[in-house]
Structure 1
Amino acid sequence: MKKVLFLFSILLAAVFQSLNAQAVIKFDKTTHNFGTFSISKPQTVTFSFTNTGDKPLVIQQAFSSCGCTVADFTKQPIEPGKKGEVKVTYDGKNTYAGPFKKPVTVRSNASNSLVRIYIEGTTQEDK
C-alpha cells in the first residue's frame, strides 16, 4: 500500500510540474539609442532574447504605436534555452526632426506575455 501511495504521489507531482511549465522571454536589453542621425536614413536594431522557461516560446505579434516603427520577429517556436530576435526599424522621413522614444510591444505565449522594448534617438534635417 505504501508503494502505491508513493507512486501515486510521484505521478501527481509530475502532473503538477507539467501544468506549471511555461515559456519565459528574457531580452538581452530592452532599450536601444541610435544617437543622432539623418531623418532621411532609416535605422535598424536587432533585439535578442532567450527563452528561459521550460516550454517552447512563440512570438505572436510585435507592434508599435506608429507607422514610423516596424518590427519583425522570429516566427518559429523558440525552444527552452534558445535565442530569438526582434528586428526594429525606425523610418523618420514623415516625422519632425528632434528626439524620439518609441515603444514596441512583443506579445507571446510566455508567462510575461507582453513585454515592451524601446528605441530612441534624435533625428536631424538633411543638410
Structure 2
Amino acid sequence: MKNLFLLFIAFGFTQLSFAQNESTLDKTTTVEFEKTTIDYGKIKKGSDGVRTFTFTNTGEHPLKIYNIYSACNCDIVYKPEGAIAPGEKGEIKVKYDTKKVGPIVKTITANTNTTEKLIPLNLIGEVLPAADDSKEDEEMKM
C-alpha cells in the first residue's frame, strides 16, 4: 500500500512537470511591428472593418503567438498558427464591427514568446452613421 501511495505521488509530480505552460519553455525572441496602432480614420457604418498588423521576427529564435485576446467588437480573422522564423514577416488580421456607430478605441493583446510576453495592439477611429441612418433619425423626430 505504501509503495502504491509513493507511485501515485511520483506520477502526480511527473504530470505537473509536463503540464507546464508552453510559453515558459520557449526561448524568448524579439518582434517589431510596422505599427502597433491602426487608425481607421472616419469610416461609414457598414464599411469593411478588416485591417492587418504586420510584424517581423527580429530575434534569434522562432516567434510564437500563443493567443490573442480581444475585449472589443472585433474578431481575430487570422493569426499565424506556426512559429515565425527569425527575419521572417507575419500578419495578424482583425475585423472591427463597423455596424456600431461611434468612436473606435480598442486594444487587442498578443501573447507571445517575446521578452514583453504581452503586446498591446490598438484600433482607433470613428464609425460614422450611414446616409440612410440620418434620414431615419430625421423622420423619427417628426
Give the structure-1-normalised TM-score: 0.75
Give CA-to-partner distance per residue, 1:28-57, whole Å, 9 cap, x none.
111111111122224111111111111111
Q: What is the aligned counterpart of 2:97 among 83, 91, 107? A: 91
Q: When you count helix as a share of all residues, which structure comes out higher?
A: 2
Please list every run of 5 or more consecutive structure 2 residues that lacks an aligned counterpart in the other structure. 1-26, 132-142
- The partner residue of 1:69 within 50, 66, 74 is 74
Offset from partner CA, 1:85-110 (integer Å, 9 cap, x none):
111110132x3x22221101011112
Structure 1 residues not aligned, in runs of 5+: 1-20
Higher RCO by CA contacts (8 Å cutoff, separation 6 or greater): 1
CA RMSD of aligned residues (A): 1.4
Corresponding pairs, count: 104
> What is the CA–CA distance in structure 2 between the aligned matches of 1:28 and 1:61, rounded to whole Å?
20
Q: Residue 63 of structure 1 contacts residue 70 of structure 1 at CA under 8 Å; is this kept in 2?
A: no
Matched, 1:45 2:51: yes
Kindly provide the CA deviation profile for residues 61-91 of structure 1, in whole angstroms up to 9, marking residues without a partner as x: 112112x211221111001111111111101
Q: What TM-score results when the alignment is normalised by the length of structure 2?
A: 0.68
Aligned equivalents of 1:113, 1:25: Cα separation in 2: 11
Identical positions, percent:
34
Computing the radius of gyration from Cα coordinates, the structure with the larger value is 2
